[in-house]
Every structure is written in structure tokens, then in C-alpha cells.
Chain A
Amino acid sequence: SQQGEEDPQALSIQEGENATMNCSYKTSINNLQWYRQNSGRGLVHLILIRSNEREKHSGRLRVTLDTSKKSSSLLITASRAADTASYFCATDAGSGGSNYKLTFGKGTLLTVNP
């Protein structure tokens, strides 16, 4: 079964508002990553947060990680129409060596209306 589950499945907001997406996972992880996918394109890495970190920022992105609750959130501030995309969390729970693989959730479709 998939490791990460995003919530909500879909989110529609107005330009300038903040967008928050959540991700829950099931097992211990080494790190958690967020990706973005524009329609018909491949996924693009946004930000990575390690298991010993609680918060990380990158531009308009803010990611939090709560390992006790096995959850993460992605906040996009001052959203723009160009932020319209699907957003996925991915977890790295490998034990090292050959066992390195990312497990993705089902994604949140974000629509930012002009």
C-alpha cells in the first residue's frame, strides 16, 4: 500500500491566498519530499525535509514535519495562478544500500483562480 496520503484531494483558492496541503504516512522515514506536477508533465522536486527537521522554507514554500504524528504539511503563500498543479508528497523509508526508493501519495490538485 502507498506510504503517503495527501489531504485534501482537491483545493480551489483565489490568487493571493495561502494554500495548505497535508500528507500522512505510515512508517518511519528518513526524509519526506514534496513534488509538483503540471498537467501532462513529469514531477518536479520542490523541497525535502529530513526526519530530524521540523520546518523548512524555500521561497514561498513552507514545509513542516511532525514525526510523532507521521504527518507533514506544505504551505504555499501568496498563491499565483501559475501555482495551479498537482502536489505530491513522497517518503524515503529505505534502510540504505540498494533499498532506496520513494513512495508517493495520490496527490492534491490545487487550482488557483485569477
Chain B
Amino acid sequence: DAGITQSPRHKVTETGTPVTLRCHQTENHRYMYWYRQDPGHGLRLIHYSYGVKDTDKGEVSDGYSVSRSKTEDFLLTLESATSSQTSVYFCAINRRGQGRTEAFFGQGTRLTVV
């Protein structure tokens, strides 16, 4: 599992409340990613990070913010959760060494916004 831990694994929250999801890695990789997975849409990139304090937007970044103050932690925040953000969220790292390589995923966080 490449030492990736997502927390929490399940969360139910109310519309309008802030929510933070955490991704923790133990292998000091530079690249980290947040995806959401929805039926009929596959995986869509929300935000990614290429180093401490270096982040960029993905294709579905509206309503989400991220922070990376330490190499090992990548936080995804929903400032004011909406029902459309009900989804399964996956964190991933890339073991990019001498060349581009594959991504390794966490087990996912199932978020329900009611």
C-alpha cells in the first residue's frame, strides 16, 4: 500500500460545515494527489502537490482547497460542504524516481453530505 493512510475512512457531515480529509504517507514522496470517484465519472483529479507548499488545481477543484505543510501530509478541505461533494475520495502518491512511474492509492474516504 506504499505507506498511504487516509483518515477518516468514513464521514457523514451536514451541508455547510467544513470538512478536512487527511492523507499521510510514510515514504517521503514528492508528488501527492487527491481524486474523487463518482459513478459514471471514474476518477477525477481535484488537486495535487509536487512539494511542500507547492500545489496546483485539477479538473474539479471548485469548492476544495488543499495544504501541504509537511512532505508526509496532504490535506483536502471542503470549506462548506455541499451534497454534490458526496463521493469517495482517494489520495495517491507517485513514486517518481528516475522516470515517470505508477501511482499508489490509499484505501479511500467515503464522505456523505446530508
Q: Write the residues of chain A forming the contact surface with B, with a CB cutoff of 8 angstroms.
A: 1-2, 30-31, 33, 35, 40-45, 48, 88, 90, 92, 94, 97-98, 100-107
CA distance in complex: A103, B1 (Å): 20
- CB distance B42 to A104 under 8 Å? yes
- CB distance B31 to A100 under 8 Å? yes
Which one of A33, A97, A104 has the highest number of Cβ atoms from chain B below 10 Å of its Cβ? A104
With an 8 A cutoff between CB atoms, is B12 at the interface? no
Give which listed residue, A2, A41, A101, A106, contacts B33 with CB less than 8 A. A101
- CB distance B48 to A105 under 8 Å? no
CA distance in complex: A106, B105 (Å): 17
Q: Is the interface of B mostly helix, strand, loop or mixed?
A: strand
- CB distance B41 to A106 under 8 Å? yes
Q: Which residues of B contact A105 (CB under 8 A)?
A: 42
Give min CB distance, A49 to chain B, whole Å.
Answer: 12
Give which listed residue, B40, B45, B106, B108, contacts A101 with CB less than 8 A. B45
Give min CB distance, A33 to chain B, whole Å.
Answer: 6
CA distance in complex: A48, B101 (Å): 8
- CB distance B103 to A102 under 8 Å? yes
CA distance in complex: A2, B44 (Å): 8
Give min CB distance, B34 to chain A, whole Å.
Answer: 11
Instruction: With CB as the reference atom, state the residue of chain A lying closest to B54.
Output: A98
CA distance in complex: A31, B102 (Å): 10
CA distance in complex: A103, B14 (Å): 30
Could you show 26 A-B contacts with beta carbons less than 8 Å apart?
Answer: A2-B41, A2-B59, A30-B100, A31-B100, A40-B108, A41-B107, A41-B108, A42-B90, A43-B43, A43-B92, A43-B103, A43-B105, A45-B102, A90-B103, A94-B100, A98-B50, A98-B56, A100-B31, A100-B94, A101-B33, A101-B48, A101-B58, A102-B33, A104-B43, A106-B41, A106-B42
